[in-house]
Chain A
Amino acid sequence: MSGDPTLERIAQGEGLALCAAGNWTARFAPALERIVSDAEKLRGSRPHIFIDVSQVASLDTFGAWLIERLRRSLSDASAEAEIAGLSANYSSLVDEVRRVGPAPKAASEPLLISVMFEQIGRTVAGIGGTIIGLVDMLGAVLAAAAKVLVHPRSFRFTSTVHHLEQVCLRAVPIVVLITFLIGCIISQQGIFHFRRFGADIFVVDMLGVLVLREIGVLLVAIMVAGRSGSAYTAELGSMKMREEIDALRTMGFDPIEVLILPRMLALVLALPILAFLGAMAALYGGGLVAWLYGGVDPEAFLLRLRDAISIDHFIVGMVKAPVMAAVIGIVACVEGLAVQGSAESLGQHTTASVVKGIFFVIVMDGVFAIFFASIGM
């Protein structure tokens, strides 16, 4: 193309003229950069060098800066290189880039290995902070709940119902579907292995204990942490980013009472309901497979279930549910309020919310197992 930028070298007696021509614009920036860095090597080769830009067809910041850079690198203590033939249109642009100083150095990247150690150190040191944060939030939520008990009119009923719909009603299909499938799988695997000992019917014992005591509530809690805990964190986090939480505070509302208490309450109510529905779906799925695949007819299944499972198993499962909900809710809210200004931070805290939520749910499950074992339930 005829518009390609060029820089011709013309000797003029003692001096040297560099004649720029063509389009010195962003489109040709890679070529321009090459031309200019070649020409920069001419420094000191002649006593007098000047840059003639009268033939330049068009000039923008890229071109103007590169010409200015060339001028600076050709100048030395003895002689200042000059720019000649500048048209009136472009002189203000060149004046503008003349004010540009050196670029500040980007913060240098530290060594990978030291970054790794630093990260490990920070994570370990952060554990204490995490626990303090959770206890702090638990206290704040309980204080807000106590305040609401004294002044029931300040309770956000509409908001609670809205969140209950989001985390409970809308979660029912997926929770029921997944627990149903898990029930089917447990039952199929049980029958497959127990059959070798002729102990097919014991699959009912295993299914009942596993589903009512452990899997039902644990699985549902993990699903809720992934589904609703992340949503809470993202909601609160983006409200924090857009200063909505600060706005609430300045209007004299307590964000804990307005935003977090309804969410916590909704979750604490929702998880037992979902856990119950999940357990029923899993038992149904298990029974169906036992009938179709294992030949245990429904009547025998129910009879065996009544004998094998005491109400204690069911109670153990249900008692765990609201506690797990509280743990998920508190983790999600702490993470949500910890979000800083950037989209990246929102992503990190949402991830942390789900990971920590699931971790604490499993830890709680372990604590409960020890507790119930020692009281003989």
Chain B
Amino acid sequence: MAERDIDAIIRVRDVTVQFGNTRVLDGLDLDVKRGEILGFVGPSGAGKSVLTRTIIGLVPKVSGRIEVFGVDLDAASSSQRRAVERRWGILFQQGALFSSLTVRQNIQFPAREYLRVSQRLLDEIMVAKLVMVGLKPEVADRYPSELSGGMIKRVALARALALDPELVFLDEPTSGLDPIGAGDFDELVRTLQRTLGLTVFMVTHDLDSLYTACDRIAVLGNGKIIAAGSIADMKASQHPWLQQYFNGKRARAVVA
């Protein structure tokens, strides 16, 4: 049992998700190993975000089994579940910052709820998180509507990291950022992964991210994982979508 836990931080087995008559995920299996950055790609509408939301527990599944940190989330008691939730952080696609709270309050929110520590420490940790995600402490008292798109992503990442989670879900972290900003963000994820020992589950469309940030790539198609492995494995694959994705014009531009 213990050995298995070290192997895979997330274990998805035979998961099926259905909306009405459309089967989005069909008997999907996936492992995410401790300490890796897994890039999760696939065509638009293939169900990448659905899988992420299913693992987190926001979308109900028809059948299958999901274990996070070795805990089966369906069988877990509510206190076990909460313990798991404290160990992961989630960056939503649109940031999902609380619009009526300032950046400071957004980042402090999880810590304030879960930890009984002084306001001074909360403020200091908030600044530490802002510095880590590459923002100046001066933005602390702005509201989300006063931030640029890239800043929103960074603040959302800082909030996801608020409780120093072991596992972070990033849903298209670089979408809507300029290439330089996106590159910085990839670099940031890499650095944080090294310094904090994070495991990162990253849904992305960004080829640059796959090349620079990810250790391993999983590809979703027809409700299943059609391939998983390194960039080299992907490029060697004969699957038509993978061929197009990794050896297309844009992909060649990235490599060059």
* A contact set with B: CB distance below 8 Å: 25-26, 29-30, 33, 60-62, 65-66, 69, 89, 92-93, 96-97, 99-104, 106-107, 340-345
Contact = CB atoms under 8 A, between A and B. Distances in A.
A61 B164 contact: yes
Interface stretch (B74-82, B125-133, B220-228, B236-244): B125-133
A342 to B, nearest CB: 4
A92 B145 CA distance: 33
Nearest to B122: A103
Given A25-B164, A343-B99, A93 B145 contact: no
A342 B117 contact: no
Given A100-B128, A104-B140, A62 B164 contact: yes
A191 to B, nearest CB: 52
A-B CB proximity, top 6 nearest: A341-B145, A344-B100, A60-B164, A103-B123, A342-B99, A93-B195
Interface residues of B, number: 36
Contacts of A92: 191, 194-195
B137 interface: yes
B125 A61 contact: yes
A62 B196 CA distance: 11
B133 to A, nearest CB: 11
Nearest to A347: B100
Contact of B100 (A29, A66, A102, A342): A342
Given A30-B116, A61-B196, A104-B138, 13 more contacts: A25-B164, A29-B121, A30-B115, A61-B132, A62-B121, A65-B124, A65-B125, A103-B137, A103-B140, A104-B127, A106-B104, A342-B144, A343-B98
Interface string B200-242: 0000000000000000000000000000000000000000000
Contact of A340 (B131, B137, B145): B145
Contacts of B144: 341-342
10 contacts: A26-B111, A26-B163, A96-B128, A96-B195, A99-B131, A103-B126, A103-B140, A106-B141, A340-B145, A344-B100
A1 to B, nearest CB: 14
B189 to A, nearest CB: 14
A89 B197 contact: yes
B143 interface: yes
